[in-house]
């Protein structure tokens, strides 16, 4: 049996929480007790529960095709396992046995979604820890699991999507906005010939482009009328806040330009840094078009949506000033071709043949 035990220099995540945070988590969980040698979860069985070790110790093992068993970790108070159950309701990837008398707090996927809605800051801290665990697991098992890389990549995306769903749950007007922006941004990037590695980075960046709004009060996000200057100043801080949230998560670092610069303008009058032209990273320029377009075709508290045709005309009117002209024209071609299901609207010939306007 191969042993590869993870050494830890600090307390496990759930042992570092405050009493208030621990009690809040307990309110969403179900407590179970196990004796030494009891199997808590068995590899390849279906489940939707995420487990926190309240008291005791466990051993996590995995069998491979040649029947070799590998010890992935020995865990104690405050540690956790089963994080993949929050992403999909698939089978367990490892077996967990109690080494001592052990008390486990089980949280179902549905309960975690409730936690996300009620305490998004705490839920996001948990998701960050899950992402670290996924990354560590990938490093530990890479020799055995190279064929699983695609699934791991999707798990990262799903982890991010859980956070995005929690953010959008705060505002019914923006529900689905992030998913649509991501679809549009990916379509533009593919049409422009972006390589797969950069396309994946763009996808993560598009999903997280508004993550900084987690720090914006609901009263500002959902205000039905024009924002006061102080309120607008709060809004303009969200790209920087989003960048700060992502900077310490290694696998998200490359997506920071998407988050930081999607409100820059091609003419240099955007925020937060007033970048212009090609000095704005390509991902930021692409998401700026996708984000603005979806905002126009969606109802918001302060205005009604416009048609796809009207939004496309507005993009062209602002091409060269607010937006990169090449990206606008690429997107217009995508709309016209009907490549994106929710944008299948017939365009008049005048729009198809019109020239780019250097906008207002």
Q: Of 108, 125, 158, which residue constitutes the final position of a domain?
A: 108
Provide the pLDDT for residue 166. 66
Same domain for 95 and 239, yes or no, is no
Provide the pLDDT for residue 13. 87
Same domain for 323 and 185, yes or no, is yes
Q: Of 91, 108, 125, which residue constitutes the final position of a domain?
A: 108
Same domain for 194 and 104, yes or no, is no
Query: What is the total count of domains within the chain?
Result: 2
Task: Give the domain range for residue 232.
Answer: 170-353
Provide the pLDDT for residue 141. 53
| 60-78 exposure pattern, b = at least 16 Cβ within 10 A, e = fewer | bbbeeeeeeebbbbebbbb
Cα–Cα distance measured from residue 129 to residue 123, given in angstroms and rounded to the nearest whole number: 10
Does residue 125 lie within any of the structural domains? no
Cα–Cα distance measured from residue 247 to residue 250, given in angstroms and rounded to the nearest whole number: 7
Does residue 151 lie within any of the structural domains? no
Are the C-beta atoms of residues 52 and 103 closer than 8 Å to each other? no
CA distances from 309 to 92, 293, 316 (A): 48, 11, 11
Same domain for 232 and 344, yes or no, is yes
Provide the pLDDT for residue 150. 64
Provide the pLDDT for residue 98. 96
Residues 6 or more apart whose CB falls under 8 angstroms from that of 278 comprise: none
Q: Of 108, 135, 153, which residue constitutes the final position of a domain?
A: 108
Structural tokens at position 19: 């009493």
Same domain for 15 and 103, yes or no, is yes
Provide the pLDDT for residue 353. 45
Same domain for 75 and 193, yes or no, is no
Residue ranges of the chain whose pLDDT lies below 70: 1-9, 64-67, 87-90, 134, 136-155, 161-163, 165-174, 301-302, 345-360
Provide the pLDDT for residue 33. 96
pTM above 0.85, yes or no: no
């Amino acid at each position: 049996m191969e042993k590869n035990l993870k050494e830890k220099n600090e307390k496990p995540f759930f042992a570092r929480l405050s009493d208030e945070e621990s009690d809040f988590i307990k309110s969403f969980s179900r407590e179970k007790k196990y004796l030494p040698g009891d199997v808590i979860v068995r590899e390849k069985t279906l489940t939707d529960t995420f487990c926190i070790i309240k008291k005791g110790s466990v051993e996590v093992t995995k069998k491979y095709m040649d029947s070799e068993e590998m010890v992935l970790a020995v865990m104690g108070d405050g540690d956790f396992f089963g994080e993949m159950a929050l992403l999909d309701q698939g089978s367990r990837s490892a077996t967990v046995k109690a080494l001592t008398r052990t008390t486990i707090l089980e949280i179902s996927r549905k309960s975690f979604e409730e936690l996300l809605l009620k305490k998004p800051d705490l839920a996001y801290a948990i998701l960050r820890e899950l992402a670290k665990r996924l990354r560590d697991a990938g490093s530990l098992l890479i020799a055995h699991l190279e064929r699983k890389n695609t699934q791991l990549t999707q798990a990262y995306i799903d982890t991010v999507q859980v956070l995005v769903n929690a953010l959008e749950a705060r505002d019914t007007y923006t529900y689905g906005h992030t998913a649509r922006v991501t679809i549009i941004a990916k379509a533009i990037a593919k049409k422009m010939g972006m390589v797969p590695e950069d396309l994946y980075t763009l996808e993560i960046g598009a999903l997280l482009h508004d993550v900084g709004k987690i720090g914006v009060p609901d009263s500002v996000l959902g205000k039905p009328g024009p924002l006061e200057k102080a309120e607008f100043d709060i809004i303009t801080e969200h790209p920087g806040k989003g960048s700060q949230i992502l900077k310490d998560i290694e696998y998200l670092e490359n997506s920071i330009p998407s988050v930081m610069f999607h409100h820059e303008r091609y003419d240099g009058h955007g925020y937060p840094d007033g970048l212009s032209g090609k000095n704005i990273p390509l991902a930021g320029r692409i998401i700026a078009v996708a984000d603005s377009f979806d905002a126009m075709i969606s109802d918001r508290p302060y205005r009604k949506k416009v048609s796809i045709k009207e939004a496309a005309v507005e993009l062209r009117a602002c091409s060269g000033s607010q937006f990169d002209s090449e990206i606008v024209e690429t997107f217009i071609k995508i709309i016209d071709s009907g490549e994106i299901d929710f944008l299948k609207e017939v365009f008049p010939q005048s729009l198809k043949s019109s020239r780019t306007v250097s906008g207002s």
